[in-house]
Amino acid sequence: MPDSILIEPVMEAPLHPTDRARLRAENLRVAYGPKEVLKGVSLDIPANQVTAIIGPSGCGKSTFLKCFNRIHELSGPAKVTGRIELDGRDLMAMREVELRRRVGMVFQKPNPFPKSIYDNVAFGPRLFGVRGRSDLDGAVEDGLRKAALWDEVKDRLADSAQGLSGGQQQRLCIARALAVQPEVLLMDEPCSALDPIATARIEELLFDLKRELTIVIVTHNMQQAARASDRTAFLWLGELVEEGPTETIFTNPGKPMTEDYITGRFG
């Protein structure tokens, strides 16, 4: 028997091992006009883990996600009460430009700008005044490498981003978000428009990215939540029903409602 089999596998430790919550929502309520979308959700999102948020359509999971970089404010005037924190700081009091740099977002539909691949990734750094050619080149390469897209596009950075496949476009959007060096990445059903192979590549990516980032992903796909996340939170009608380690939620959920939802016997 070769010796190597006797050697214990080395677990890759996260770069910043920490147990504290990076994001925290406390009794978060969000209402658009008379319609209350979130009805007092409290959730801690630990650093360097992938937290999946699941729930039926209209349960408020997307709104919940968007609150963490306040992009929900684009969908109209919302009344927000309760507290949302990033590293212990009140997120509603932060300047949104700073907040959104630190908390990046990837959307449901790949949404590259109608610009070249290079300009798409360089867009973020340029917003913050990065002008030097070598700085920009570095940021673009870094973003594309982390999004596992560099090898596929390095010879055609000047080509239009809209010529890429759907999966590549979504990874470009991830690269674009990573280029401003965020601490948190919010993903709103990032694979719902992708085929299984492109989906698998993105899920693989999550695994690598969480060493440096905290990731929150909203998904409709139970299997994706089970495969890709460390923790799972189940929202229903604007309320948090249950949250916990993903393996517990998927083998032995605590609430019958969670059980019904993940086994597809809901309603």
Partner 1 sequence: MKKLDLRPRLSARIMDGAMKVALWAVALGFIAALLVVMGAILKQGWPVLNWGFLSKMPETLDAGGGVRPQLFNSIYLVALSLAGSLPIGIGAGIYMAEYAKEGRLTGFFRLCVETLSATPSIVLALFGLMVFVQALDWSFSIRSGACALAMLNIPILTRVTELSLRGVPQEMKEASYGLGATKLQTILRVLLPAAAPGLLTGTVLAAGRAFGESAVLVFTAGTNTSMTYPDFSLKAPGETLAVHLWYVVSDGTLPDAREIAAGTAAVMVLVLLVMNIVVRLLDRRLKRHAR
Partner 2 sequence: MNRHYDEDLKHLREGLTAMAGQVEWMLDLTLRSLLERRDDLADRVSALDASVDEQELKLDKSCIDLLALGAPVARDLRLVASALKIIPEIERIGDHCCNIARRAKLLNPQPLVLPAEAMERLGRDTRDMVRQAVDAFVRGDAALARAVIAADDQVDTLYMDIYRDLLRRMLGDPLCIERASHLILVAKNWERIADQATNIAEEVLFILEGRNVKHPHLQDPP
Which stretches of the chain bind partner 2, using CB under 8 A? 222-223, 226, 250-253, 258-259, 262-265
Mapping DSSP onto H, E and C, the string for the chain reads CCHHHHCCCCCCCCCCCCCCEEEEEEEEEEEECCEEEEEEEEEEEECCCEEEEECCCCCCHHHHHHHCCCHHHHHCCCEEEEEEEECCEEHHHCCHHHHHHHEEEECCCCCCCCCEHHHHHHHHHHHCCCCCHHHHHHHHHHHHHHCCCHHHHHHHCCCEHHHCCHHHHHHHHHHHHHCCCCCEEEEECCCCCCCHHHHHHHHHHHHHHCCCCEEEEECCCHHHHHHHCCEEEEEECCEEEEEEEHHHHHHCCCCHHHHHHHCCCCC
Interface with partner 1 by CB under 8 A: which range of 2-10, 29-37, 91-99, 246-254? 91-99
Comparing CB distances to partner 1, the nearer of 104 and 253 is 104
Between 129 and 256, whose beta carbon lies closer to partner 1? 129
116 interacts with, out of partner 2, partner 1, none, CB within 5 to 8 A per kind: partner 1
By C-beta, is 107 or 234 nearer to partner 2?
Answer: 234
Which range, of 111-119, 199-207, 213-221, 245-253, touches partner 1 by CB under 8 A?
Answer: 111-119
Nearer to partner 2, 53 or 144 (CB): 53
The residues binding partner 1 (CB under 8 A) are 69, 71, 74, 96-101, 104-105, 107, 109, 111-116, 123-124, 126-128, 160-163, 173, 176-177, 180
